[in-house]
Amino acid sequence: MSKKWMSGLLALTLAGVGLAGCGTTIDQNGNASTGGNADGQKELVISTWGFSEDFLQESVFQPFEKEHNVKIVLETGNNAERLNKIRQGSTNVDLIYLSDYYAQQAIDDDLLEPIDRTQLTNLDQIYDIAKAPNGEKYGPAYTVAQLGIAYNPALVSGEVTSWSDLWKPEFANNLTMPAITATAGPMMIDAASRVAGNKEFNEDAAFTQLKQLDPSVVKYYSQTSEYVNMIGQEEIAGGPIMEMYFKDIQAAVPGAKFVTPSEGAYAVINTVNIVKGSDNKELAEEFIDWQLSKDVQEKSAKAKVDSPVNKDVVLTDEEAQGITYGADIIENLRKLDMEFVNKSMPVWTDRWNREIGG
């Protein structure tokens, strides 16, 4: 009996040491709990994309850690991968960055915690489009970019000024379009409906327009790298693209142009939200407010990492190159109803595969 008791005690002690080294503490009953590290600091687990990580560490995460005596732990991946981990309960994430499309899925699955907006002191300084992209209960957008058109003037006669120009002969057999499953896919369904002359969305008219365009499409791209490679090799003259990636296109084609279509570009909205059940809700809200602050927004904009939503950020023309900046652009962006998009996507995807991309 004594040997078994000692063996059990030793096992429990070793388990406690191992867990403590992983940022997990053991209470007097031997139960494991997370939320702190070996130095007694709280841990804030943030799920994000993983791009520009060096800049974000230096200018966003580390200053917040120092000011709040907290350790930030990152989990990275694309929207779908990270959201699925939350769905499966296989992660202890406190805060999650998602596009508004995926944030709506998380809301529909009851995976996000309501935000206490009284704790967000910088909320009044951000553009209206960014304040509540998925409703007042949930997190704001920390960046809003635009989907417009990029093209190589050497391969297109005349100026490109509108979405309807994509249907002109200049783009015959040298156009790329986003795949239906890409972030911009639903936006182009809406754009096609508008090109067809509808003020209200008309699904049949949209798909009729897209079928007319299909013969001109060299490839429906899912990744920006595909677009960049095609335009760099002159396989395409251009197509819809998010402005944040235009610098990559310019690197491949220095003379390329980016256009905000006359009918209006589409808002590409990235949100930051608290995961339901987080033990660090107040700290997470402080981080969201930090992300919206003029200082963080300005640094991110000048580094060409994120387009600013804080109206107090002032940039020179050179600093604003390649990012979505200014009330005249941001306040005129077209925002889709993501609740409607999420409900419609299974039908749209099936129809796309049968009629266009099949």
pLDDT digits (tens, 9 = 90+) for 327-343: 999 989 999 999 999 99
pLDDT of 62 above 70: yes
**Percentage of the chain modeled with pLDDT above 90:** 84
Q: What is the DSSP string of 76-139?
A: E--HHHHHHHHHHT----SEEEEEHHHHHHHHHTT-EEPP-GGG-TTGGGB-HHHH-TT-TTSP
pLDDT of 15 above 60: no
pLDDT at res. 38: 55
Six token digits for residue 12: 């429990």
pTM above 0.75, yes or no: yes
pLDDT at res. 51: 87
pLDDT in tens, 28-39: 333 333 455 656
The end-to-end CA distance of the chain, in Å, is: 69
Q: Which of 21-30, 64-73, 170-179 has the lowest mean pLDDT?
A: 21-30
pLDDT of 7 above 60: no
pLDDT of 8 above 70: no
pLDDT of 310 above 60: yes
pLDDT at res. 322: 87
State the pLDDT confidence band at 229, using cuts at 50, 70 and 90: very high
Per DSSP bridges, beta strands 70-76 and 95-99 are unpaired
pLDDT at res. 35: 52
Six token digits for residue 117: 């907006």
pLDDT at res. 74: 96
Cα(105)–Cα(98) distance, rounded to whole angstroms? 10
Cα(129)–Cα(333) distance, rounded to whole angstroms? 9
pLDDT in tens, 167-213: 999 999 999 999 998 889 999 999 999 999 999 999 999 999 999 99
Cα(61)–Cα(305) distance, rounded to whole angstroms? 14
pLDDT at res. 36: 59
pLDDT of 14 above 50: no
Average predicted confidence (pLDDT) for the chain: 89
Q: Which residue has the higher pLDDT, 128 or 90?
A: 128
H/E stretch holding 217 reads strand 217-221
* Closest alpha carbon to 85 in 109, 101, 59: 109
Q: Which amino acid is at 55?
A: F
Q: Which of 5-14, 222-231, 248-257 has the lowest mean pLDDT?
A: 5-14
Q: Which residue has the higher pLDDT, 28 or 125?
A: 125
pLDDT of 26 above 90: no
